[in-house]
Structure 1
Amino acid sequence: MQSSSSSSHQNAASSSSAHLPQNGNTNGEEKDAKSSHVLLPFLQSQSQNTLTRLYQKPSACLAVFRLLSPLERQLVMNLLWLDSAISPATMAAWVVRDRRNVYDRAIQELMKLHILVNSTTKLVLNNTFKASFRHALTGGGTSGSFGVAADERQSRMSLGVEQLDHFALERWETILHYMVSSGTGQQPERPSKGVLFLLERSALMASMYGAMQITSTGFQFLLHSPHDQLWDLLLQYLHLAQERDMDLVDVLSFLFMLSTMELGRTYTASNLTATQKVMLKDLRDYGVIYHSDNNAGCFSPTRLATTLTSSAPPLPTGRSTGGGAQGEGFIVLETNYRLYAYTDNPLQTAVLNLFVTLKYRFANLVVGSLTRESVRRALTSGISADQIISYLVTHAHPQMRKNEPLLPVTVQDQIRLWELEKNRLQSADGYLYTSFASQADYEFVLEYAHSLDVVLWEDPVKRCFFGKAEGHGNIRGFIERRTGGAL
């Protein structure tokens, strides 16, 4: 099994490589350099020893290779089959002068990942990475790096591709639906305790007024694609794994292994480490893998897992979730603040309910209005006016995209005005000091309060000021000393 799985990745790896820039058309490389995968900075922060251990797994090398920019992949492929090092001058001769900065940046990124040996006199791949990546492309061996297929009896007990898609979608939408519905009086299905802890730890949700509610960060999270959302949570999981004394290399190796597996195939769990067996239950809660208690010795990766390091949609393309631009837009907004949402997705409806007053709901249409009360409710939860506008733009109906500007300016301005109105007044606990016997007494006490930096408001005409609660004890003592104990 190992041989066939490994060799099947060779064409994918080779076809994804790009030529070194020989002309001025390098916009793709520049874009990739600026928008690298979110996991790469985390990998670059790890020690050389950790990455070398990780590169012992052929599946990990293939997965990391997929995350690189086209230029970085091309550099790796050019060096992979060389038996000796090449001088930097020889490699640099293939690059036009005005694109040298793009090439230099790619070299530095590969060195940070310890794929290239950090040397100014020669360019050579890390020996461990080179050997494992060659193994991934040519196949052979029995390391089980790409997973070990379950036997026929176990495979018959597992789910098909459509069932796996349904399972992944249900688990993923349960998480998103809980985020947007908590604190609104609805009773959504609760994810597992581990998922809830991760949502709170990553500041996507927070405890407000005795209930879990979505935060401003959480609402921004909903604007991302499902692929980016999943990696946002997995990055938090990686940080927590270190705190839980889980072997980070085992955690990363398992995620990379899942990304190279075949959708619809069942794999045995017998060759997994203790850390990876703990991950089976954790990742099941996110819909990344299907792991049945009745068939505990094996598991099946879902589409969320097999697309971790690819650009393919991580969820069935026929169904759109509340986050990301998976599918066409569905929102029409009029200048009178009336909103029409052509959707039958409960999650999308729940997201709109965060900042829209919903009035009617039909089979595939939801009608509502942007009102002062609904927008202020969202603002109170930490959602900003710009985030509301961004969501409306991201999910605008194709018919709306013919407009210039896309959203009515009056509606955008009113949303921002409601935000300014909310921020105009601020509340604070404190004490009002008034009824001073003379102007001198008032100014003397006020000066002392200013020295403590506790004055929030003052009115010299009425001889009164308002001070923070934490400074009341000092001010009270000062007045008592000045008046001989008589207030």
Structure 2
Amino acid sequence: MPQVRIIAKNFMDMVASLPAMKLSKLYQNAFICEAILRSLPPLAKKHVLQLMYMEGPVAAKLLEEWILPDYSSKHKVAIDRLIQLRVLTEIVDRREVSYKLNPTFQSNLQKHLINGGVLPREPMPSNITVRLPSLEELDAYALEQWECFLLQLISSGQVERPTNFSFSMMRVFQRGLLSYRDKEVPRLTESGFQFLLMDTNAQLWYIVREYISNSEV
């Protein structure tokens, strides 16, 4: 089986690739701060929680003392990840290295951990709640919609049940997956075949990334 070359980054990789200004804006949302914390590797999560209520920088040597010697390599990976996400800021002063939590991330996460948080939800009318679909029905509906989307994505003709995506947006998704030539039917590229070999989660994440990237232009 050929190796899939399209890399569908995960949530944390995508966040780490964002510029500092966008990350600062993201960290103004307490729920995003919580999502970042939950998605961190265990050791990185431990460091964040230990630094949560420290106002000033903490020396790198002190952080190293908080872990067992066998975990030194994982400690470095955790620190690098936190710096990539700009959750942690590295401060170099007279050859002494220290770290400090992003103040916006720290403040919002503190409030969220202390006060808790519930996503805002509007009450549902009783005539709707009595006919809510079951989990099996939701799974079947999601699978049907995804198969319809894939068919429209790779099909050169019209599908019987097109999705709600506009023609221009479908062209964005098809970029790199289909090749277009004058007066010829679009054909799957090598990347297109590799996309079809992905599991559903990887395919979905690839589409989400393309959608977000296009919306930021």
Q: TM-score, normalization: structure 2?
A: 0.75
**Match among 122, 127, 130 for residue 98 of structure 2:** 122
| Partner deviation per Cα, 1:7-43 (whole Å, 9 max, x = no partner) | xxxxxxxxxxxxxxxxxxxxxxxxxxxx995343432
**Using CA pairs below 8 Å that are at least 6 residues apart, which structure has the higher relative contact order?**
2
Q: 1:226 aligns with which of 172, 192, 200?
A: 200
Encode CA deviations 1:53-88: one digit per residue, 9 max, x unaligned. 111111111222233222222222222244554321
Distance 1:61 1:161 in 2: 31
Matched, 1:205 2:181: no
Q: Distance in 2 between matches of 1:221 and 1:36?
A: 10
2:147 to 173, 188, 208: 173
Whichever residue aligns with residue 34 of structure 2, its letter is L
- Change in CA separation of 1:36 and 1:116 when aligned onto 2, cut-off 3 Å: farther
Q: Rg larger in 1 or in 2?
A: 1
2:8/2:203 contact within 8 Å kept:
no
CA distance in 2, matches of 1:214, 1:83: 55
* Gap change, CA 1:218 and 1:92, over 3 Å in 2: same
**Which amino acid counterpart does residue 173 of structure 2 have in structure 1?**
L
Superposition map of 1:113-192 within 5 A: 113-120=85-92, 121-140=97-116, 147-153=119-125, 156=128, 159-162=132-135, 163-179=137-153, 182-183=155-156, 189-191=161-163, 192=165
Structure 1 unmatched ranges of 5 or more:
1-34, 244-487
CA distance in 2, matches of 1:186, 1:194: 15
Does the CA-based 8 Å contact 1:36-1:68 persist in structure 2? no
Change (3 A) 1:96 1:115: same
1:215 — aligned with what?
A: 189
Calculate the TM-score normalised by the size of structure 1: 0.37
Q: Secondary structure at the match of 2:58?
A: coil
* AA partner of residue 39 (structure 2): L
Provide the C-alpha distance between the structure 1 equivalents of 2:208 and 2:107, rounded to a whole number of angstroms. 28
Structure 2 runs not aligned, ≥5 long: 1-6
**Distance (whole Å) between structure 1 residues aligned to residue 67 and residue 86 of structure 2:** 22
User: Cα offset for 1:177?
Assistant: 3.1
User: In terms of mean alpha carbon deviation, does 49-58 or 75-84 score higher?
Assistant: 75-84
Asked if structure 1 preserves the Cα contact closer than 8 Å seen for 2:9 and 2:205, the reply is: no
Paired positions, count: 202
Q: For 1:265-312, what per-residue CA distance to the aligned partner results, in whole angstroms no more than 9, with x for missing partners?
A: xxxxxxxxxxxxxxxxxxxxxxxxxxxxxxxxxxxxxxxxxxxxxxxx
- Give the aligned partner of residue 75 of structure 2: 103
Task: Provide the rounded CA distance (Å) in 2 between the counterparts of 1:91 and 1:168.
Answer: 46
Q: Indicate how the Cα distance of structure 1 residues 61 and 154 shifts in structure 2: closer, same or farther if over 3 A, else same.
A: farther
- Structure 2: how far apart are the matches of 1:74 and 1:215? 44
What's the counterpart of residue 4 of structure 2?
Answer: none
Distance 1:36 1:106 in 2: 22
Measured after TM superposition, the shift of residue 112 of structure 1 is 1.9
The alignment's C-alpha RMSD in Å is 3.2
**Is the Cα contact below 8 Å between 2:179 and 2:186 reproduced in 1?**
yes
The code of the aligned residue for 1:197 comes to: R
Report the Cα offset of residue 107 of structure 1: 0.8
Give 2:36's match in structure 1, choosing from 52, 64, 67. 64
Q: Which residue pairs with 2:215 in the alignment?
A: 241
With 117-126 and 159-168 compared, the bigger mean Cα shift is at 159-168
Identity over the aligned pairs, expressed in percent? 26
